Amino acid sequence: MRIPFRKMHGLGNDFVVIDARETPVAMTTRRAAALADRRTGVGCDQLIVLEPSQAADVRMRIFNNDGGEVEACGNASRAVGLLLGGTNSIETLGGLIRSEAGEDGVTVDMGLPRFGWQEIPLSYAMDTLELPLGWEELENPVGVNVGNPHAVFFVPDADAVELERLGPIIENDAVFPERVNVNVASVVGPDHLRLRVWERGAGLTRACGTGACATAVAAMRRKLTGRKVRVDLPGGPLTIAWPEGGSIEMTGPAALSFEGSFEDADFPA
Ligand SMILES: N[C@@H](CCC[C@H](N)C(=O)O)C(=O)O
C-alpha cells in the first residue's frame, strides 16, 4: 500500500505532510526519523501528520528530523493553513492556534508566550529575561516558551556565530531538561531583526517560525524593538506582532513543492 504525502515549506524550512484525517497512518519516532532522513528517506526538517480533532478543525502532530514528537512549529502551521485554506483552528501539543490564509501569505495566531522558568522549562529557578548562563561568546539569553522552548541570544552579528558548533552544545545542556531551540539574533533597527536558528532535533534550518516569534517577543521584552517587527531569516522574512498582553501573530509565506507517495512497508512503524 502506498501512503500519499505533500512536500511543503515555509521559507525553506521543509516538511513532509501526511493527511491522515480520513485514513489513519501510524507514526512512531522510528518511522518519522526514517521518513525525514535526507539520504535514505523522503527528507525534511519536520514530518507533519494531520489527524481529526475533537477540539479544533484539525490536529497537527509535529515530528522533528530526529523523530522526536514536539509541541509547535510556526512554519508548518502556515503550511497547514495554506493547505486547508480560509480560517482554521489547529490543535497542537503546544496548544490551540488559529490560521488565516490570505493574499499576502498565511497569518497564524500562535497564542500567548510563557516566561516562567518552569514553563520554558529550565532545571532550576532563574530570571528568564536575563538567564545567568553562557557558552563562550553566547551569554545571558532570554528564555521563552511559544509552545516549544527557546533560548534567544542577542549578539552584534548573528551571521558571525559558529551556530553549527555551539547550537548542539546549548541544545543538549542539562539546564534545559526538554532540550531547547537556540536562536542568535542581531538588532538591525527598531523594528527589524536578523535571526539564525539551531533547531532542537533538526539542526540548522533555513527558517524557524517559532524561533522568529520567540526572538521578537524576547526583543520586545528587552525593549530593543517596537511591538511589530520584521525578522530576517536565511530563508527570508517573517512579520511578527505581539500586542501588549495579547497573543503572538506571525505572517509569512508557505508553499507546496510537490506531491508524492511512499511504500508503507518500506518505513515500518
Ligand atoms: N521549524 C519549526 C520548529 C520545529 C520544532 C522545533 N525544532 C522544536 O523541537 O521545538 C518552526 O518553524 O517553528
pLDDT tens for each residue of 60-105: 999 999 999 999 999 999 999 999 999 999 999 999 999 999 998 9
How far is ligand 1, taken at its centre, from the CA of residue 125, in Å?
A: 25
pLDDT at 82: 98
Binding residues, as ranges, are 13, 46, 64, 74-75, 148, 181, 199-200, 209-210
- Best CA proximity match to 202, nearest among 25, 47, 21, 17: 47
Among 77, 110, 85, residue whose Cα is nearest residue 240: 110
Round the average pLDDT of the chain to a whole number and report it. 98
Kindly state the average pLDDT of the residues 39-61: 98
pLDDT, one tens digit per residue, over 234-264 is 999 999 999 999 999 999 999 999 999 999 9
Helix (H) or strand (E) holding 213: helix 209-221
pLDDT for position 36: 98
Domain boundaries, the chain: 2-106+254-266, 134-246
Length of the chain: 269
pTM of the predicted model over 0.90:
yes
Q: Is 44 a catalytic residue?
A: no
Range 130-136, long-range pairs (CB < 8 A, 24+ positions) = 133/175, 135/166, 135/169, 135/170, 135/173, 136/166
Distance in Å, CA 1 to ligand 1 centroid: 30
Does residue 121 have a cis bond before it (omega within 30 degrees)? yes
User: What are the cell numbers at 86?
Assistant: 480560509
Ligand 1 atom nearest to CA at 75: 12
Closest ligand 1 atom number to CA of residue 149? 10
Regarding the domain delimited by 2-106+254-266, which CATH topology (the fold level of the hierarchy) does it fall under? Answer: Diaminopimelate Epimerase; Chain A, domain 1 (3.10.310)
Closest CA to 45 of 81, 7, 83, 78: 7
pLDDT at position 121: 98
Contact 5/260 with Cβ under 8 angstroms? yes
Helix (H/G/I), strand (E/B), else coil: 101: strand
Q: Give ∠ CA 161-152-228 in degrees, rounded to 5.
A: 110
Residue numbers in the known binding site for substrate are: 13, 46, 64, 74-75, 148, 181, 199-200, 209-210
Residue 222: the pLDDT is: 98
pLDDT at site 253: 98
Q: Quick check: 235 and 12 in contact, CB under 8 A?
A: yes
Among 34, 72, 187, 208, the one annotated catalytic? 208
Q: Count of CB atoms within 10 A of residue 9's CB?
A: 22
Q: Whose CA is nearest to atom 10 of ligand 1?
A: 148
**Nearest Cα residue to atom 8 of ligand 1:** 200
Query: What is the reported pLDDT for 41?
Result: 98
CATH of 134-246, one of 3.30.70.260, 3.10.310.10, 1.10.3720.10, 3.30.70.600: 3.10.310.10
Whether the Cβ atoms of residue 171 and residue 179 lie closer than 8 Å to each other: yes
Q: What is the DSSP string of 11-55?
A: TTEEEEEEE-SSS-----HHHHHHHH-TTTSS--SEEEEEE--SS
**If you measure from the C-alpha of residue 44 to the centroid of ligand 1, how many angstroms do you get, rounded to a whole number?**
12
**What pLDDT score was predicted for residue 116?**
98
Give me the pLDDT at residue 261, please. Answer: 98
CA of 36 to the centre of ligand 1 (A): 14
What DSSP line would sit under 55-72, residue for residue?
Answer: SSSEEEEEEETTS-EES-
Between CA 180 and CA 150 the distance in angstroms is: 5
Judge whether 2-106+254-266 and 134-246 match in fold: yes
Which pLDDT band holds residue 126 (cuts at 50, 70, 90)?
Answer: very high
Complex confidence, ipTM:
0.99
Catalytic residue, chosen from 73, 212, 229, 240, is 73
pLDDT of residue 189: 98
Average pLDDT over residues 29-42: 98
Q: List beta partners, residue 6.
A: 17, 259
pLDDT digits (tens, 9 = 90+) for 152-195: 999 999 999 999 999 999 999 999 999 999 999 999 999 999 99
Contact 175/143 with Cβ under 8 angstroms?
no
Find the residues whose C-beta lies inside 6 A of ligand 1.
13, 45-46, 64, 70, 73-75, 148, 181, 199-202, 205, 208-210
Look at residue 233 in the predicted model and tell me its pLDDT.
98
